[in-house]
Structure 1
């Protein structure tokens, strides 16, 4: 059954904060869904999956190892299925449909949905055309989502979603939302600020229905 995000109490994706300890704490306090921090598609391609029988976790470590400590592998992503199964959404940064599908296919068995980040305005996300930069290339964003829906979401029975920001005006925002929904995505998250706005500025909710 595809997860619906509407009206849920969630731990939203947060850089460096949404790791396993925070997600488990959020679940203990009643979160119905939890997001990972953004993982870049090319980084995911370097990961190797293993079952951690000591912690009962699924670990994804970099096959390239740790540059500073020879013989040690970097842990990039870890999930605790006992608590997270059915509730874990992985947010991915991407600007390439093919790479997006390759990366999502690596982790899809251990997450309950793939969420594309098209809303973050920070450099680490928008470099190489990812994050909020995708708002300026809507056709590329739609092609990424359509390919993920057809080749990852549907075959695995799991939702593909996207997070965006509002555009310059209501008309252009709603036109973008319509295009994105036509790709077959199951859910869409709207950050009610424009790309240039920061969290200290009040969100713009004039034309967004708040549930």
Structure 2
């Protein structure tokens, strides 16, 4: 298939799955923020990381975040490390409303693909996202499971975690491996065989 056709189809898919009118009282920008903070790992649930992911200004991102805090969809926690930076977490109210996310139509369409089809499609999109981000000088977001900075072999030893982030020098729990991260650097995907405990060493 022609590369331009692929690009146009991706763009069109984005257009028809995003609504301009508010859904359940939330604008498309607010829905995008809730999705981001639902998927981002603890290192990336910050206003600046969200702005980078959306490709928008910090001021615009801040306004969206403040509106969600005012509606009690997000809660802000100050960093214990420096007291200046903040981490944003979804409230239970936000987790409940995400079940009605207008993006669910696209999720169902993706579910219709075969498991191998989803894998190939996701890999291709990740490569495309990385290329466009590099060309435009933007950070490339991805997850720990395919990041070259992931350390560990999946085996738990006394006093050690299964995995760790080599960039942040922080241990990672298994459920964090699929979270979006602003510190992502493309590496070989982590092989998973039923459970992380049986993962192939990186």
TM-score, length-scaled by structure 1: 0.29
Larger radius of gyration: 2
Identify the structure with the greater helix proportion: 2
TM-score, length-scaled by structure 2: 0.30
